[in-house]
Amino acid sequence: MPPTVRIILIQALPQTQLDSPENVDRAVALLERCRGQEADLVCFPEYFPFSGDAALAQAARELRAYVAAGLVEESRGRRYNTSTLFDREGKLVGRQRKCTLGNLERKGFGVTPGCGFQVMDTDFGRLGLAVCIDFWGQPGAAQQLTDQGADLVVNPSIFPILRGHWPQGALVRAFDNYLPVVGVNTSSFVAEIAGRHYPMYGGNSFAIQPPGPEDGAELSRLVRNWDDLQDWFILKSGDSEQILTIELDLAGPRFWRHVIWERFGIQR
């Protein structure tokens, strides 16, 4: 596996109605703008583009990149809020269903909670996809994914509240598991859900990179100077529609994870 991964975060501006077919067209247009960037992984936010499996699969195949998208899955008469992953050939790798659902999405979209978390194998490492509050709001998803060997977690989200808390919650999970994390939000917009309008607070998409020091002596120097870990954020966005590119080191955190756990007495 390569030591680093090149990731594109697409902080998309959705239509007012999240299930609008125009969001699929917008997603394809945004993916077209990623051509030539040699991305390994392209990530969309939660509930974007809502539908469009076939179009996204084709775009992933043309880009030769993995694509993670916020799609609503219809299965056996139920709906699930998922982050769905397509591989470089446009094949479906898997769907991570959101487990912790707020009243707004239950009532507005009729979705059902999922159960459990499973890493997905890629050619750059083992990927965890945890949707919104499943990751930053509680420890279970990050623990399960890390214990399954995740090298990276992508946290697609959307925010009517708590956008400012999101990066800090994700930073706690990144430290607990010594794990690179990226979070992708929509840009700011007003969503119409079940006939009512809700401001969605966009932006703050981020990338968190735990250090991968050269040796134990460098690790010791780093640890002695750790305070609030804000320098682990190597990317933070504004609140408008943006395409953000970042490279993350997966090999370093993978190598040092158990050393960090032992040093801090973290029991796993």
Label each residue of the chain as H, E or C: CCCEEEEEEEECCCCCCCCCCHHHHHHHHHHHCCCCCCCCEEECCCCCEECCHHHHHHHHHHHCCEEEEEEEEEECCEEEEEEEEECCCCCEEEEEECCCCCHHHHHHHCECCCCCCCCEEECCEEEEECCCHHHHCCCHHHHHHHHCCCCEEEEECCCCCCCCCHHHHHHHHHHHHCCCEEEECCCCEEEEECCEEEEECCCCCEEECCCCCCCHHHHHHHHHCCCCCHHHEEEECCCCCEEEEEEEECHHHHHHHHHHHHHHCCCC
**1: pLDDT strictly greater than 80:** no
What does the alpha-carbon distance between residue 262 and residue 219 come to, in Å, rounded to a whole number? 13
What does the alpha-carbon distance between residue 111 and residue 108 come to, in Å, rounded to a whole number? 8
Q: Quote the mean pLDDT of the chain.
A: 97
What is the arithmetic mean of pLDDT over 234-255?
A: 97
* pLDDT value of residue 3: 82
> Where in the sequence is the domain holding 247, given as residue range(s)?
4-264
* pLDDT value of residue 157: 98
**131: pLDDT strictly greater than 90:** yes
Q: Write the pLDDT tens digit of every residue in 10-69.
A: 999 999 999 999 999 999 999 999 999 999 999 999 999 999 999 999 999 999 999 999
* pLDDT value of residue 67: 99
What is the arithmetic mean of pLDDT over 81-97?
A: 98
Q: What is the CATH number of the domain that holds 244?
A: 3.60.110.10
What is the arithmetic mean of pLDDT over 90-108?
A: 96
Residue 100 neighbours by CB distance under 10 Å? 16
pLDDT confidence bin for 2, thresholds 50/70/90: confident
pTM of the model: 0.97
What is the arithmetic mean of pLDDT over 215-224?
A: 94
Number of domains the chain is built from: 1
**88: pLDDT strictly greater than 80:** yes
* pLDDT value of residue 268: 85
**242: pLDDT strictly greater than 80:** yes
